[in-house]
């Protein structure tokens, strides 16, 4: 195993994957990404980190580190109010206009 692969594995030890589900704008709910977030964060902070990583700022969000793109097309809109984040423990949050609401 390469040094880079070992370092990547070490970085991933403190991470967990969450699923980002697009369901706003009349979309049929579908998973668009699995995002690695810091597992020591609160639920809301995990949702915020997933939200930030699935929004296009300087490049298409599907190219962000820690994001595994699962969308049905080569590109996808950014995460928005009305979309959801599913945490590893099965808790789901809806992206509200301000903050997150437990579903």
Q: Block means of pLDDT (10 residues each) for the chain, length 103 residues?
A: 66 89 93 97 98 95 96 90 97 97 96
Helix (H) or strand (E) holding 93: strand 92-95
- Give the per-residue pLDDT at 10: 61
- The contacts of residue 90 (CB under 8 Å, 6+ apart) are none
Q: Is the pTM of this model over 0.75?
A: yes
Query: How far is 28 from 15, CA to CA, in rounded Å?
Result: 29
- Residue in the structure block whose two tokens are 């793109």: 69
Pair type for strands 67-69 and 84-86? unpaired
């Amino acid at each position: 195993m390469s040094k880079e692969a070992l370092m990547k594995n070490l970085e991933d030890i403190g991470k967990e994957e969450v699923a980002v589900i697009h369901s706003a704008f009349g979309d049929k709910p579908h998973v668009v990404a699995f995002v690695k977030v810091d597992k020591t964060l609160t639920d809301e902070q995990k949702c915020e980190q997933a939200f930030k990583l699935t929004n296009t700022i300087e490049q298409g969000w599907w190219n962000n580190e820690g994001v595994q793109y699962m969308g049905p097309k080569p590109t996808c809109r950014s995460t928005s109010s009305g979309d959801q984040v599913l945490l590893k423990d099965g808790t789901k949050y809806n992206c509200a206009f301000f903050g997150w609401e437990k579903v």
